[in-house]
Structure formats: C-alpha cells, structure tokens
Structure 1
C-alpha cells in the first residue's frame, strides 16, 4: 500500500469531516445512559459515510446516483431532525431530572437512520471534493481511499465519544445538549440549503 496515498487520504478525510466530531459528540451525549446507543450512532455514521462513498465512487466512474441539483436539498434532513429533536426536548423539559438516573432499555438516544441521514447530508459537499480525487486515483487508488476513510470513521466515532464523556464536556452537554443538538442540526440544515442555492439566492 502506498504510504503517500494513505497520508493523502487521511488528510483529505480529516479536512472534509472535522465538523463531524462535534456532531458525533452531541449524538453520544444525547445517547448517554441509553443501552445500545453508542452502537446505533456508530452504525449510523458508517451507513451515512458509506452512502457518501458510494455516490462519489459512482460519479468518478461517470454514473450519477445523486444529481448535483439535489445536493442542496439534503439540508432538509438535518433541518427536519433538528426540529424533531427540539420538539422532543420541549415535551420532556419537566422530566429531565427523572430520566437522568434511568437507563432506557431499548431505543433511547439517536436512531441509526437519523445519524446516517445527518452524516450523509453533512457530507453532500464532500462528494464534489472526492469525485475528482477518486477519478484520478483509479480503481486501485480508490480502494486505498475507501479503506482509509472507513478506518477513520471508527477513529472519529471514538473521538466523538471521548469528548462527550470528558467530565467538563459531559457536564456541559448534559446541561445544554438538549439545546445545542437541535440548534446545530437546524443551523447545519439551513447552511446546506442556503450555500447550495436551494432558495435561489
């Protein structure tokens, strides 16, 4: 395996996915105390990023799985999820103290497909960066990029969970996470919509 290409792939992943660490930290904080939540978040991150890779690889070979005009509207996914999360936080605003000491047996915290949707939407602009790189790297090079990227997804998940469980960060997220997560998701959705020209601006 070409170490130079591995380093390039690692650098490209880090540059294009640095904001995912914040999102993952918020997701892991939201899932704290819910059995199986970390597994669902990690699985969702992998599904979302695998979808980004699939679209980028197909485009590098000349196939269009996702029309360029559709990319801005991916912002609707985190925007809608942010509204849903805000509504849930509002509904449970009086029961937070009771839920802090209870572990939800099943289904608590972020859902796998919700994490996958946010990951995919947040990586929509990454596709435009990956396509020319993949096209020039060829099939062998693309395999290297895919392996490095998918390995680093696990590192990103570990980093997100690490930050979410640091005492100072965990306390802050426990206190403000119910406000931060929907705010970040709604802002992210609006940025994707606006920067992509979804409103014709």
Structure 2
C-alpha cells in the first residue's frame, strides 16, 4: 500500500467532508438529550449514509471503466462544475445558519443516513473519477481510509457539538472551503490526465 495513496485519500476525505462535519456537529448537538443512545444513532446513520455514497461511487467508477481511457480525465469536469455551482450558490445566497442549543432526543439513524447521502452528491461526483483512475487496489485503499475517516469525523462532530463557538465557525466557513476544494480536485484530474492538452 502506497503512503502517497493513503495521504491522498486522507486529504480527499477531509476536504470533501468539511460540510459534513458541520452537519454532524449539529446532529450530535440535537442528540444531547438522548444520551449515549442518541449519539450511537448519529454514528450509525452517518455510516449508513456514507456506505451508500461509497457504493454509488464505486458503481459509477466501474461504469466509467467502460469508457475509453482517453475520456477518463474529462471526468474532472464533474467536480469542477460542482465546485463552480456551489461557489455560485454561495455568492447568490450568502445565508447564515442558526445553531440550536436546545438538547433533544435527536434524529433517528435513518434520518442521519438520509441527510448524509443527500449531502454527499458532491462527494459522489468527486469520488467517481478519482476511483476510476485509482484502479481496484487504489479504490480499496480509499474506501478503507474513508471508513476510518467517518469514525474520526464522528468523534470530531461530537467534540464540536459541545463547543458552540467552534461549531459556529465551521458553519460560517465550511461552505466556502468546499467549492474551492471541488474546483481544485477537478483541475487536478484534468491536468493529471492531460485533458485539453494540459
């Protein structure tokens, strides 16, 4: 296993899930009144949703394997377009999200999974071309690192849920970082694949 691939997987997980960290912190904040059971529901839901994202990404990457090799670098246009769309949306909306401090029993695992999957549309758009280029061995490394990353994100989300100042900062800037990262990933895929003669 190449340490370079592991490092790339860690970096990709972190930057494509910045927004999810905010959502997790909010879910854990809602689940405070549910104690340990509420926290476990959030973790279970996060894993269910993220496994669904990975399954969709792997299926998409295997389908991409049916494409001619010269076409694969152009899949970088997808995260590039998603990043540009997200940046445009931020520029137009500039909406603030309020954090609630009131403890409740929290969401069900299925609610967390549904939100995680719905929030992961951009992730799928990024992961498909990367998985398609990585090959089977690289894809396994990415999946293992991502699943470990979900555990780290759950721990971090629980931590942030108890520190409202940090959670508000993530809520304020996480949505700005994501489009930049998506645009960067798209450009890297295009340049590394020599798309458009780059």
Same fold (TM over 0.5): yes
Match of 1:50 in 2: 51
2:172 is equivalent to residue 138 of structure 1: no
Structure 1 alignment gaps of length 5 or more: 69-88, 90-95, 174-179, 181-201
| DSSP-derived class of the 2:136 partner | helix
- Paired with 2:16 and 2:60, the residues of 1 have a C-alpha distance of 18
- Paired with 1:163 and 1:147, the residues of 2 have a C-alpha distance of 24
Q: Tell me the TM-score normalised to structure 2 length.
A: 0.62
- Paired with 2:121 and 2:42, the residues of 1 have a C-alpha distance of 19
1:33 to partner: Cα distance: 2.4
Q: Tell me the TM-score normalised to structure 1 length.
A: 0.61
1:89-108 matched pairs, under 5 angstroms: 108=105
- Paired with 2:120 and 2:31, the residues of 1 have a C-alpha distance of 22
- Paired with 1:169 and 1:130, the residues of 2 have a C-alpha distance of 31
Corresponding residue pairs, total = 134
Give RMSD over aligned pairs: 2.6
- Paired with 1:126 and 1:21, the residues of 2 have a C-alpha distance of 13
Structure 2 alignment gaps of length 5 or more: 65-77, 79-99, 172-198
Judging by fraction of residues, say which structure has more helix: 2
1:1-201 matched pairs, under 5 angstroms: 1-35=1-35, 36-62=37-63, 108-166=105-163, 169=165
